[in-house]
Structure 1
Amino acid sequence: MDSSHVNTDLAELGLLADDARRRLYDFVAGHGAPATREEAAKATGIGRTLAAYHLDRLAQAGLLDVSYARSNGRTGPGSGRPAKRYSRPQREVAVSLPPRNYSLLAEILATAAESAPSGEFMAALAHAAEHEGKNLGKEAESIPAALTTAGYEPVERDDGTIVLQNCPFHSVVQDHTDLVCTLNRAFIQGTLEGTDNDPDRAELSPCDGRCCVIIHADGHGSPPDAP
């Protein structure tokens, strides 16, 4: 990570020091679908005009993506004006001082792991990930608390299914999907066991925009359609 990247990332993250921007960002990041200005303003208790200003500042800095869509889903004349919507981008922003390139380390280790004899390393990886997840689960108050600490951003659906909106290893998963998904599932199974829950509730269910694992309410059922 060179100094120009560090300075850029610091400037972007500095925007989140403002309480209103942080609340708006947190709402959009956890919303699960692109959010309108009105939705963000109502959820955070911030006036629409001020919310729009802060959301646009976050978008200009690259911390939010912008899209346009009509709320009624219609198109053509008379269908109304498309509403501006905000969502969290896949792009990562991370800063360490002095600079530390953990993504590069992970990439090198993942590449080396995939060149190891088939089966051996994956089994060791799953065991280690499950062990770490179990330790985290034992120290946490609940499944969501444990997974939040690990960076998965869990959201519980109405049916009790827990969807993980973030993959903590996103920078590596693009080139090493099988390895990262194996790690994720084993880690989450360990976390469930550590919180005295059935580890079989964790199921691999890859979908764009979220972690490849979902957690069923009772270990049964079909994966949700929504990311």
Structure 2
Amino acid sequence: MSHKIIAQEFKPIQENLLEKLNAINDKIQNYYTANKKKTMVIENEFNDKLAPHYKKRFELISKTKGLDDFWSSVISQAMISNFDTEDETFVKYLSNLDLSCSYDAEKEMSVRKLTFHFKSGNPLFTNTTLEKVLTNTAGEVKMTNSSITKNETKNNNNKNKKRKEAPRSFLLNFIESQEPEVSELFEEFCKMFEDPFTVLLENEEGDEEDDDDEISFDGEEDGDEGEEDEEEEDDE
């Protein structure tokens, strides 16, 4: 994108002044470009340090029976308000989640890939993995994804059943959509991947607050009943 100031658009300004402004603007943009490249180099180094730890977490979740629903719980708690008819089935068969990142400072390009892993027997689709990729090249965002293969066995079993509406899935729509706007939801998944325990702890804190409210409410009820008993004794 050119940042040159076009003289014809600013006729009242002298041409020599515009040239000076353009020269200053070029230097400013050069600093921005250099800073972006440095940031990408740092991001790449940071990602290299994180990668082995993410791998250990992935392997632990994959090999431990008690953790096979870990990501199902995290995603459900974070996004259940957006769930549609098939999303509970989606997370039920979700076994693991992975995120890979690569950065090219010279091309000003970053590529991040979310990979959803699934258990066997999934009635929605036959894929064992689904990928969602976000590519950012000098600020231009592009979304790509895996092709979803629907489970025809389920479709054949249900072909004679009348449904009021077709099954829908917020999560599958996210994976299939290639609209740039989906990048915001992609970022949410990345944050969940980086720190899933924040999601879980926030939910637990909410449950504790609900419990406190219930105790307080019950206490008020008990107090009201006590007052009613005293009034009855006075009447006698």
Q: Normalising TM by the smaller chain, what interval?
A: under 0.3
- Greater fraction of residues in strand: 2
Q: TM-score when scaled to structure 1?
A: 0.24
- Greater fraction of residues in helix: 2
- Larger of the two Rg values belongs to structure: 2
Q: TM-score when scaled to structure 2?
A: 0.24
